[in-house]
Structure 1
C-alpha cells in the first residue's frame, strides 16, 4: 500500500458539500449559493448507462432520490490547475508529487426523496475490484488514473471511469459527483473554526501522518485535522480503523457546520465559499439550490455513516501488492439494505462488525463471511450519525 501521499480526505469532501447545503439555509446566505454556483469548477462526468447489472440495484423512489459520489483526491494543484504553494504542501504533510492521482476517499451518499434519513457508505481506497472499461482488477483508488491514462490524460474520462466502476461495484446509479483536493480540507476546517473529535486512546504517529494527540475530546483544524483523518499506522486495523475515524470526523464536522454560530457568521460563510470555489469540482448538472433544500434534514443528525463489508484487509494481489478483499455480491446486498426500503432477500440487516482477518490468501473464488462495515472490532457499535461527537480509536 502507498503511504507517503495517501492524504485521506473523507472529512473535507462531505463537509464541502454540506457547506453548500448550509449556506442555503439562512436568509443572509441564500445569495451566496448563486455566487458559489456561478464560480464553481464543473465537469461533464455523469453518463447515464444502463442500470448496473445486479439483483440488488436500488431504484429511485418517486424519481426524487439522489445518489452522489464524494471523492477526495490527492492533487497537488487547485481546481484551476495552479500548483499549491510549497509551504502549503509542507504544512499538509502531503509528501512529494509523483504525478499520480489517487482517489483516497470514496463515499456514496443516498438522499431519499421522501424525507427519510440519508445514508453514507465508505469504500476503502484499496478495495480490489473490477475497473470499468475492461481494465481488469485493481485497487479502486486507481480507477481515476487508469481511465485518465487510457484517454490521453483526460481528467473527465478518469472521473467517468471511476464513477462507472463505483456503479458496477455497488449496484447503484450515481446521479451527481463531487471531488475535492488537499487544500480544501485545510481551508474548510479552518473556516468552521475547528471540528470537535474524541479519541479513546492517545496516539503518536509523528513518523508518518504527524498525528500526535491525547486521549479524550479535543477540537482540531487545518493541519491537525488532516493528520487526524490521515493516520492509519498504529491503528489495530489500519485503513479500516481509519475509515471509522474519518466517519466520526465528518459527522462531527457536519454537526458543527449546521450549528447556529456557523449559520449566522458572515466571515465563516465567506470562508467556506472561498474554500469550496478553490477546491471542489462538481458535475455540471448539479443544482445547488435544489440540493440545499433536499438535505436540510441532516441538521437533526438524520444521516448515518457505514463502510462496505470487508472480507480480508491484507489480501495479496500479484500486481498491486496488499489490497482489501471484498465480495461484490455482498457489497451490493449491503448497499441495497442501507439505501432501500427493505433488506434484499438473503442478506442480513445487521451493521455490527467482527475483527478483520489478517494474513495473505489466494483468491479461491469461494464466498467468505464478510466483515460488516462498523469496523471497530466490536459487535455492538452503532452506525455513526451527525448528531454529535463519537469517540473512536
Structure 2
C-alpha cells in the first residue's frame, strides 16, 4: 500500500543528507552474477585509484571488507552538475556547499560461506581523522581532504576542472578509508560510493521498496508523512523515509536503522525472481548504477559476483557500532556522537571474527627514541595523561611526564634546537596541525606538548569520557531486532 503525503514537505536549506543509492552496491554483491552477465555493465562503471596496494590484490585471509559510502553530491559520477529539474524532483533544496559522506557502511564478507554483516557508522561519530586534521565528525573526513588537496593543486597551477575534481575526490576517498581503518581496526579491501542521483533512479528501477512503520509519522523537516504499517515507496517518498530523524525515539540511531531495513528490503526485492527475470528492470538498474556508482580500481566485479551468487537474504545481517554519548559537546563541531575507539574495535572483532586490536600492527618502533612530555593548559581534568597515554600506546613514543600548566588558547609543540623533524612527527600523531617551535629549554631527545583550549586531537575524547561522571546524553538502549534481507522489519 502507498500513502500520498497530505502536505508538501518543507524544503530544507541543507538538502538531502542521505545518499541512499549506496544500497545498490550491497545488492550488486548479492545479485552481481546476474548483472555482470549484462553486456557493458562492468565496462561502464567509473573507477578511482583509492586503495593502497596492488590492483586486484586478494585479501590475505580470503575475507573481504568493503566500505560503502553515500555522498551528498549535486553532481553525477563524472563531476557533471545535476540539472535543476532533477534537484527539484528530489526536493533537494539549497546546497550548503559541503560534500559530506552521510552513509557509511562496512560490509564484511567471510570466505567460509557464513553470514555477511553490514555495519553502519553514524555520520556524526566524533573520531580522529588521519593526516593532521584532528578530531571531527566522521562524515567530514572526505570533504576536509578534498578541500585541502584542491587548494594545494590550485597553488601548484592546476586549473583544469576535471583534473581538480578527480584528484581532490581521490584524496577525499583515501582519507576517509584511512579514517575508517583507524576507527575499526579493519583493512578496507574495496571501496564503492554512490551519489545523490543514484537514489531515485535505483528505487524506481526495481518498482519500489517495501517498508513497515511501528507508528504514524509526520515530520516537516524530512517531509516524511506515513501511516503505521506497510508501504511500498520509491523516489522522493523513499528519500523522506530514510532522511527522518526528528521525532524518532533514538534520533540518528533510528535513522540508521531505517537505512538498514531499507537496504535489507531492497536486497530482498532484487533477489526475488520477479526482478532477476525481468530484463527491463535489470537494464534500468544497470543504467542507474553506471550513472551513480564509483568503485576502486582493480576490483574484479565479475569474480566477486561469482563468489556472491549463492548468498541469500538470510545470510546478510545489519548492525551498528556502539556509541557512548549522543550529545557530545565538541570544541569546533557542535554536538556530535561520542564513540570509544577501543569498544568499536572490540565490536568489529566480535562481529566479524577478525584479529583483535592487540593483534593489529604495533606502533612505529622509530618513535621510541623520542620522549614526550605533555602540559595541560585547557583546564580539562586528566587531558595531559590521556594524550600521553595515546601517544605512547598507539604511536610508540617514550613516556615523559604529564602535568597541568597555566591556561593557554593555542596548542604548541616545542623541541630542542635542530629537532623540528621529531616535533613534526608528534604533531602528525596528535592531529590538528599544531605549530612546532624550537626552545633551548627543552632537553635533548624530548618533545614538549603544550595543550591549549583549541586542542581536539589524540586522547581528547578519551579524557572527556573519563572526566564525565554522568554523560549528558547517554546512548539509548540498543534495538534488539535482527535485521536481515529475509523479510520486512517494522521500525520507528
Normalising by the smaller structure, the TM-score range is: 0.7 to 0.9
Alpha carbons of structure 1 residues 43 and 344: separation in structure 2 relative to 1, 3 Å = closer
Q: Is 1:326 aligned to 2:322, yes or no? A: no
**Structure 1 residue 62: deviation in Å?**
6.2
**Structure 1 residue 69: deviation in Å?**
0.2
Structure 1: any 5+ residue segments left out of the alignment?
Answer: 50-59, 346-360
CA distance in structure 1 between the partners assigned to 2:476 and 2:16 by the alignment:
21
Q: Which residue of 2 aligns with 1:14?
A: 23
CA distance in structure 1 between the partners assigned to 2:320 and 2:37 by the alignment:
36
Alpha carbons of structure 1 residues 362 and 294: separation in structure 2 relative to 1, 3 Å = closer
Higher Rg of the two aligned structures: 2
Q: Which residue of 1 aligns with 2:321?
A: 308
**Structure 1 residue 301: deviation in Å?**
1.8
Under a length normalisation based on structure 1, what TM-score does the superposition of the two structures give?
0.85
CA distance in structure 2 between the partners assigned to 1:17 and 1:389 by the alignment:
17
Structure 2: any 5+ residue segments left out of the alignment?
Answer: 1-11, 151-163, 359-460
Q: Which residue of 1 aligns with 2:72?
A: 74
**Structure 1 residue 95: deviation in Å?**
2.3
Q: Which residue of 1 aligns with 2:464?
A: 364
CA distance in structure 2 between the partners assigned to 1:168 and 1:3 by the alignment:
33
Under a length normalisation based on structure 2, what TM-score does the superposition of the two structures give?
0.68
Q: Which residue of 1 aligns with 2:435?
A: none
How do residues 193-342 of structure 1 correspond to structure 2 at under 5 angstroms? 193-205=207-219, 207-340=220-353
Q: Which moved more, 1:183-192 or 1:84-93?
A: 84-93
CA distance in structure 2 between the partners assigned to 1:204 and 1:367 by the alignment:
39
CA distance in structure 2 between the partners assigned to 1:274 and 1:177 by the alignment:
20
2:95 aligns to what SS in structure 1? coil
2:33 aligns to what SS in structure 1? coil
CA distance in structure 2 between the partners assigned to 1:376 and 1:244 by the alignment:
13
How do residues 46-85 of structure 1 correspond to structure 2 at under 5 angstroms? 46-48=51-53, 63-85=61-83
Number of paired residues? Answer: 356
Q: Which residue of 2 aligns with 1:176?
A: 190
CA distance in structure 2 between the partners assigned to 1:164 and 1:3 by the alignment:
31
CA contact (8 A) 2:313 2:484 kept: no
Q: Is 1:42 aligned to 2:55, yes or no? A: no
Alpha carbons of structure 1 residues 317 and 133: separation in structure 2 relative to 1, 3 Å = same
**Structure 1 residue 368: deviation in Å?**
8.8
Structure with higher RCO (Cα < 8 A, 6+ apart): 1
Q: CA RMSD in A?
A: 2.6
Question: Deviations 1:57-95 (Å, cap 9, x if unpaired)?
Answer: xxx986311000000001001111121121211222322
CA contact (8 A) 1:72 1:105 kept: yes
CA distance in structure 2 between the partners assigned to 1:164 and 1:342 by the alignment:
18
